[in-house]
Amino acid sequence: MNQYQYPNQPQQSGEKPVSPVQPAENAQQPTGRRAKAVRYCKNCGEQIEPGASVCIHCNMILNPAAIRKARMIVADRNATVTTKELIRCGIFPNKGFRIAKQYAKTRPQVAAPCKKAAIIGTIAWTVLLATSIIVLLFLMGFFGAMF
């Protein structure tokens, strides 16, 4: 059955069809699905919109999941990354890469700098390790020549 069918639309042929856009004056109150959709606030008893997350009369939270989701969206949008956190992402590149992956879609303004810091950190660690090996080899050669 077409869910958009207007309640007072004639079911049998012969009657003049009523336009869904401009209901007739004698249009009856919607029945079935639409009638059930009318909701009342559990707290104050006032009538509220079927999809309402908060009662407009008493501010009672009616849909905690929707409120949490909305708060999360705001938190994602406002999320920032501190210099301290970026330094940590550089020192521990795997941590930086993990954050970058975790927030790639929800917090790109956090993910991008963390990834950058992790890449710089990886390069820095590689250079440091390579330099250490070269210095060590040099010292071994130096002491080897002495004795």
Nearest to 103 by CA among 93, 111, 112, 95: 111
Identity of the residue, 61 or 72, whose beta carbon is nearer to Zn ion in the bound complex: 61
Identity of the residue, 44 or 136, whose beta carbon is nearer to Zn ion in the bound complex: 44
Question: Rounded to the nearest whole angstrom, what is the least distance from the CB of residue 44 to Zn ion in the complex?
Answer: 3
Question: Rounded to the nearest whole angstrom, what is the least distance from the CB of residue 41 to Zn ion in the complex?
Answer: 3
Distance CA 34, CA 5 (A): 11
- Residues near Zn ion, by CB under 5 A: 41, 43-44, 55, 57-58, 60
Nearest to 96 by CA among 74, 112, 108: 112
**AA letter at 58:** C
Question: Rounded to the nearest whole angstrom, what is the least distance from the CB of residue 35 to Zn ion in the complex?
Answer: 21
| 10 touches 17 (CB < 8 A) | yes
**Cα(first)–Cα(last) distance of the chain, in Å?**
97
Question: Rounded to the nearest whole angstrom, what is the least distance from the CB of residue 47 to Zn ion in the complex?
Answer: 10
Identity of the residue, 5 or 43, whose beta carbon is nearer to Zn ion in the bound complex: 43
Identity of the residue, 44 or 67, whose beta carbon is nearer to Zn ion in the bound complex: 44
| 89 touches 95 (CB < 8 A) | yes
